Chain A
Amino acid sequence: MKKFISEDGLVLPLDRSNVDTDYIIPKQFLKSIKRTGFGKNLFDEARYLDKGLPDADCSDRPINPDFVMNQARYAGVSILLARENFGCGSSREHAPWALDDYGFRCVIAPSYADIFFNNCVKNGILLIVLEENIIEKLFADTFQNEGYRLAVDLPSQTITTPDGEKIPFEIEDSRKNILLNGLDDISMTLQNEQDIQGFEASWKQKSPWLFSRIN
């Protein structure tokens, strides 16, 4: 799995709460059976003025100049600054795949939806939770200063602003470990093979109807 150790990058301020996964990647792009290539359709409905079709070439589609990501000063962003309940809605992992494919390595927001949170960890994207007032200040600073960057460092759990201010953040040890080492969690779970088999045997005794094939 992909690692996350640190990221020093430009910040995109997405000033909108309850950003849902349909907004991140509309459903028509979910018809793909691959994991890659979703970046060009990230935020598709906000980003382009026409309706996006799967497999269409996006290079000559009309761009929505009002959408923040289309402004020249935000070219090459890798850190997304967002509002509360980011990633709500469907369980589609295409949302983190699209963020990753576009080049985002890290999201900073006051809160996230549960399933989206897990899906990001599995794709090496670091989600940082900060308090509303700090988020507010980061939005203001990003809007005011062209070329605003943040340096995110996972081992020390800090974000460093251009003025050298250090903002600490919390992360669960298990998630930190997975991200730092890019661990394959299926292999990790399979190290417990005997425990799983043991559980299964006793569960089968207790609840035999869950293991009998009726049809």
Chain B
Amino acid sequence: MSGKTLYDKLWESHLVKNQDDGTSLIYIDLHFLHEVTSPQAFEGLRIAGRRPWRADANMATPDHNVPTTTDERSRGVEGIIDPVSKIQVKSLDSNCLEFGIDEFEIDDPRHGIVHVIGPEQGRTLPGMTIVCGDSHTSTHGALGALAHGIGTSEVEHVLATQCLVQKKAKNMLVSVNGQLKPGITAKDVVLAIIGHIGTAGGTGYTIEFGGDAIRSLSVEGRMTVCNMAIEAGARAGIVAVDEKTIDYVKGRPFAPKGELWNQAEAAWRALVSDEGAEFDAVVNLEAADIVPQVSWGTSPEMVAPVNGYVPNPADLTNESKRNNYQQALKYMGLEAGTAIKDIMLDRVFIGSCTNSRIEDLRAAAAVVKGRKVADNIKEALVVPGSGLVKAQAELEGLDKIFTEAGLQWREPGCSMCLAMNADQLGEGEHCASTSNRNFEGRQGFGGRTHLVSPAMAAAAAVHGHFVDVREIEL
């Protein structure tokens, strides 16, 4: 008999039962909640007179909609100027209170983007099943957990039953072989993967990311990769547990301690795909071929190497794809054949659950240190992923490096990743962004997003256009 994949193991260990109609009931260990996708679910519970099945398996924080200026944040929830946002954040507070759910409120020092604080607090543990009403829940797979996004009806379902009705996905292995060249980051890896398999390439699969290049990434880097599994169409991305995973979790506030730790650690070490496990699909990439990536279009698969050019739709034979490219170029205001390095920028955003952890900020700070933001950049934001990331960065003096270079240092939250708060692009503005989605209007009405790594965004801030970060002296 062939071995099991990590996904098979996680699935089987959480299988409550297979149902007659071909679906399965899967037990959920941890459920994250935020203010945008939960109010209607809590309302549903209230209407039906239901209580959470296991309140302690939930954890909430407001992140999508919160302001990021220090001034607005200094007055807590009452300080939120936008009345609609304020209602939403307050609803989360009152719902958590009513249903007995732990929340890191907006003024808690541990507050932050839900996918940053989960691992940071040790709430996210290897071997768990984790869901959240947010598609980037896939981030937590970096720790060997099975984690994916759900809709609001499913949020209500998990609250009420601690289970999810699911069909098992297929297994895909994306193996990045060999070693990355200097200056190439996790973000470049995942953008290259999406460019290779397409935004629907992983649909119906759980992707396990493996190979030497993935192994050699830090746990934070693996989070960046798993974060964007959803951009490749997969609901979940996972990385097998290794020494780095264990070291990462150890000592975190909510991680097990003492004898429980020993038991847990022993169990976690088995969270790898067995040798000879069969995958339904295998994709191989050579790490040495990956160069810094920049997205030029309105879908995360529309990426090019920094030394490349905006493609010409006329070169495509598939008509639907050609139309797609044409629509993208029109929206982006770009001509086919333009060098990526010639794209002039208006704003820079360093943040989001993809790239707002301490390593990301260090990488960006190393590039801007002693330099100045270019004149044509109207605004460059650095938004740490959590209050603790912010505190750590300040301890290391990164905030000074950023502000001296002319970037703004903000309070944690999703910010311009989806621009639900005041941090938005203006119409037609081009932005180098470390976030995960470049859809039309994602960062503001008519805004034009280019997805890049933190170091590339920082270099773009300094030069006012894209440059190859490998050519910058650090």
With known contacts A23-B440, A186-B156, A207-B264, A174–B151 Cβ distance under 8 A: no
Task: Please determine whether B255 and A91 come into contact, CB atoms closer than 8 angstroms.
Answer: no
Contacts of A190 in B (CB 8 A): 160-161
Partner of B127, one of A30, A83, A207: A207
Task: Please determine whether B56 and A88 come into contact, CB atoms closer than 8 angstroms.
Answer: no
In the complex, B84 has a CB within 8 A of chain A? yes
Residue of A nearest to B150 (CB): A91
With known contacts A196-B163, A200-B27, A214-B256, A209–B327 Cβ distance under 8 A: no
Contacts of B244 in A (CB 8 A): none
Task: Please determine whether B264 and A209 come into contact, CB atoms closer than 8 angstroms.
Answer: yes
Task: Please determine whether B84 and A54 come into contact, CB atoms closer than 8 angstroms.
Answer: yes
- The answer for the CA separation of A18 and B22 in the assembled complex, in Å, is 29
Number of interface residues of A (CB under 8 A): 62
- The answer for the CA separation of A196 and B25 in the assembled complex, in Å, is 9
Task: Please determine whether A22 and B437 come into contact, CB atoms closer than 8 angstroms.
Answer: yes
Task: Please determine whether B154 and A114 come into contact, CB atoms closer than 8 angstroms.
Answer: no
17 more contacts with CB within 8 A, not counting A31-B36, A31-B420, A111-B203, are A33-B40, A35-B43, A54-B84, A89-B439, A92-B37, A93-B151, A119-B153, A122-B151, A172-B21, A173-B21, A186-B50, A192-B17, A196-B25, A196-B162, A200-B162, A209-B263, A210-B29
In the complex, A133 has a CB within 8 A of chain B? no
Choose among B235, B261, B327, B441 the residue with the greatest number of A CB atoms under 10 Å from its CB.
B441
Choose among A18, A174, A196 the residue with the greatest number of B CB atoms under 10 Å from its CB.
A18
- The answer for the CA separation of A206 and B17 in the assembled complex, in Å, is 17
- The answer for the CA separation of A200 and B37 in the assembled complex, in Å, is 26
In the complex, A15 has a CB within 8 A of chain B? yes
Contacts of B264 in A (CB 8 A): 207, 209
Say how far B375's CB is from chain A's closest CB, in angstroms.
27
In the complex, B310 has a CB within 8 A of chain A? no
Contacts of B23 in A (CB 8 A): 174
With known contacts A20-B439, A27-B418, A122-B151, A189–B25 Cβ distance under 8 A: yes
With known contacts A189-B157, A190-B160, A115–B151 Cβ distance under 8 A: yes
Q: Lowest 5 CB-CB distances: which A-B pairs, in order?
A: A174-B21, A209-B256, A33-B39, A119-B151, A122-B153
With known contacts A91-B134, A189-B165, A196–B16 Cβ distance under 8 A: yes
Partner of A172, one of B22, B199, B204, B267: B22
Say how far B114's CB is from chain A's closest CB, in angstroms.
13
8 CB contacts below 8 A, A to B, read A20-B299, A45-B440, A85-B199, A115-B135, A118-B151, A118-B154, A173-B21, A190-B161
Contacts of A22 in B (CB 8 A): 418, 437, 439-442
- The answer for the CA separation of A32 and B19 in the assembled complex, in Å, is 35
Task: Please determine whether B267 and A207 come into contact, CB atoms closer than 8 angstroms.
Answer: yes
Interface string of A49-66 (1 = CB under 8 A from B): 001101100000000000
Contacts of B263 in A (CB 8 A): 208-209
With known contacts A186-B160, A208-B263, A213–B441 Cβ distance under 8 A: no
Which A residues from 59 to 113 make CB contacts under 8 A with B?
Answer: 83-85, 88-93, 96, 111, 113
With known contacts A90-B135, A92-B37, A208–B43 Cβ distance under 8 A: no
Task: Please determine whether A18 and B150 come into contact, CB atoms closer than 8 angstroms.
Answer: no
In the complex, B69 has a CB within 8 A of chain A? no
In the complex, A143 has a CB within 8 A of chain B? no
Task: Please determine whether A214 and B254 come into contact, CB atoms closer than 8 angstroms.
Answer: yes
- The answer for the CA separation of A57 and B164 in the assembled complex, in Å, is 38
Say which size band chain B's interface belongs to. Answer: 35 or more
- B contact residues vs A (CB 8 Å cutoff): 13-14, 16-17, 19, 21-23, 25, 27, 29, 36-37, 39-40, 43, 48, 50, 53-54, 56, 64-65, 82, 84-85, 87-88, 91, 125, 127-128, 133-135, 148-154, 156-157, 160-163, 165, 167, 199-200, 203-204, 233, 235, 253-257, 260-261, 263-264, 267, 299, 320-321, 323-324, 327, 418-420, 427, 437, 439-442, 445-446
Say how far A184's CB is from chain B's closest CB, in angstroms.
8
In the complex, A137 has a CB within 8 A of chain B? no
Contacts of A119 in B (CB 8 A): 151-154
Say how far B155's CB is from chain A's closest CB, in angstroms.
9
Partner of A83, one of B134, B204, B320: B320
Task: Please determine whether B165 and A185 come into contact, CB atoms closer than 8 angstroms.
Answer: yes
In the complex, A146 has a CB within 8 A of chain B? no
Task: Please determine whether A196 and B253 come into contact, CB atoms closer than 8 angstroms.
Answer: no
